[in-house]
Amino acid sequence: MNILIISQHFWPESFLINSVAADLQRSGAHVTVLTGQPNYPQGKIYDGYNALKYHAEKHPSGVMVYRVPMLPRKNGGAVNLIANYLSFMLSASFLGPFLLRKSKIDVIFVFATSPVFQSLAGVVFRLIRRVALVVWVQDLWPDVLEGTGFVRNRKALSAIGFAVGWLYRRADMILVQSNAFIEDVLARHPLAVVKYHPNTCIKLHQGGPKVDLGLGGKFSVMFAGNFGKAQALQTVLESAEILREHRDILFVLVGTGSQAEAIANTVAQKKLNVILPGHFPSEEMAGLFKQASALLITLTKNALVSKTVPSKLQTYMATGKPILAAIDGEGSRLILEADAGFVSRAEDPISLSKNILKLKSAGAKEQKRLGQNAVDYFEKNFQHDKLTENLLALLENAVTSYESRNSKRKRIKNEN
């Protein structure tokens, strides 16, 4: 099967789709990726790449990668993000078909992180190539915009919702990373073929740590990922303030994002027991996770956001560390179902602090049990090979259904 993956983000950026593409290639499929110029999360184009040029390169797995011009996100903000999103959407939609004119394509697979409008490129390819389009929804739009406060205008949200419905209606199959998404997708396209296909984890290199964070002797609670509004890291800072007298507890916030400067300022001003080691490439994350006592997930308190399963959850589970979470909804349900740690409500620093103390006092044996439960749940529900096999079956089903409908249309046309 010849699979075209369309994703605004791809290697060397650290995204789940890197592992998915490599797994599909190793399974025997022929995978091609159409993506932009790497600039996430710092907002600067990586060395060796150019925002205004297009080129092709090969991923270590053998996947061919085609890059179209794209403006960097810079330091975030509405104007920069809109320019970033639009530039990829337009380049992928209009330049992409030319770049891949000689590539054989059986199915188009869109990795629909925010913004979902990158799916427009998939619609264009579907019209030109006359092949099936499968969209894997990672974030619900416009729900995530409303939930994070990025867009508040009701007319704007309504217009975006209409556009999202238009995109959904042009997909032959829609995959969702959270069961809680299904109802919302069907509300926008009642006739959609919707299937649950969860995320797996970003594959981690299992070598020893390259960076020693100096956490020895401390009960360290580590958050790793984007420092954005949706992550509600203010909850972590407030918890650190509550636990400031517990000098043997240390919060480790690994990553960067739009809130990084504000977080650093708060930590410095209040002299919190928090360290900010910065952003690290994915190949160093396994070594960092090994140094932590527990891994932390936080999200903003919002009914719309709570439907999303944070992408870091599966990665956390695979590490074998107990999980502490201040989240609501689907992510909370999975952690409790796995018995992989302790969960408090979103944006509740008091309950989070109590759970940190509870996990610390539980002792090494209980911490190890929770971590093993996390691994067992991951292996049962999110393991790479199982999900790759499932994804291939879904893509093949989409291709078969598309070809069957086309044959039926041609037969009816000939009969008339």
The answer to which of 140-154, 232-246, 249-263 has the lowest mean pLDDT is 140-154
Q: Is the pLDDT of residue 208 over 60?
A: no
Rounded to whole angstroms, the Cα distance separating 103 from 338 reads: 43
Rounded to whole angstroms, the Cα distance separating 28 from 249 reads: 47
Beta strands at 64-67 and 55-58: parallel, antiparallel or unpaired: antiparallel
pTM above 0.95, yes or no: no
For residue 63, how far is the Cα from the chain centroid?
Answer: 20
Q: Is the pLDDT of residue 205 over 70?
A: no
The answer to which of 106-115, 144-153, 224-233 has the lowest mean pLDDT is 144-153
The reported pLDDT for the residue numbered 207 is 61
The hierarchical CATH code for the domain 219-380 is: 3.40.50.2000
The reported pLDDT for the residue numbered 229 is 87
The reported pLDDT for the residue numbered 152 is 87
The reported pLDDT for the residue numbered 209 is 59
Q: Is the pLDDT of residue 166 over 80?
A: yes
The hierarchical CATH code for the domain 2-200+384-415 is: 3.40.50.2000
The reported pLDDT for the residue numbered 65 is 98
Proportion of the chain above pLDDT 90, given as a percent = 83
The reported pLDDT for the residue numbered 416 is 62
Q: Is the pLDDT of residue 399 over 60?
A: yes
- Cα-Cα-Cα-Cα torsion 341, 347, 353, 359, nearest 10 degrees, comes to 0
Domain with CATH 3.40.50.2000 in the chain: 2-200+384-415, 219-380
Query: Where residue 144 falls among pLDDT bands split at 50, 70, 90?
Result: confident
**Shortest CA distance to 40 belongs to which of 97, 100, 81?**
81
Query: Where residue 111 falls among pLDDT bands split at 50, 70, 90?
Result: very high
Rounded to whole angstroms, the Cα distance separating 243 from 235 reads: 12
**Shortest CA distance to 306 belongs to which of 342, 345, 336?**
345
The reported pLDDT for the residue numbered 147 is 78
The reported pLDDT for the residue numbered 217 is 86
Q: For residues 222 and 294, is the Cβ–Cβ distance under 8 A?
A: yes
Q: pLDDT tens digit string along 340-375?
A: 999 999 999 999 999 999 999 999 999 999 999 999
Rounded to whole angstroms, the Cα distance separating 347 from 235 reads: 5
Mean pLDDT of the chain: 94
For residue 245, how far is the Cα from the chain centroid?
Answer: 35
For residue 29, how far is the Cα from the chain centroid?
Answer: 23
Q: pLDDT tens digit string along 243-301?
A: 999 999 999 999 998 899 999 999 999 999 999 999 998 888 999 999 999 999 999 99
Which helix or strand (DSSP H or E) is residue 278 part of? Answer: strand 274-278
Q: pLDDT tens digit string along 37-80?
A: 999 988 999 999 999 999 999 999 999 999 999 999 998 788 99
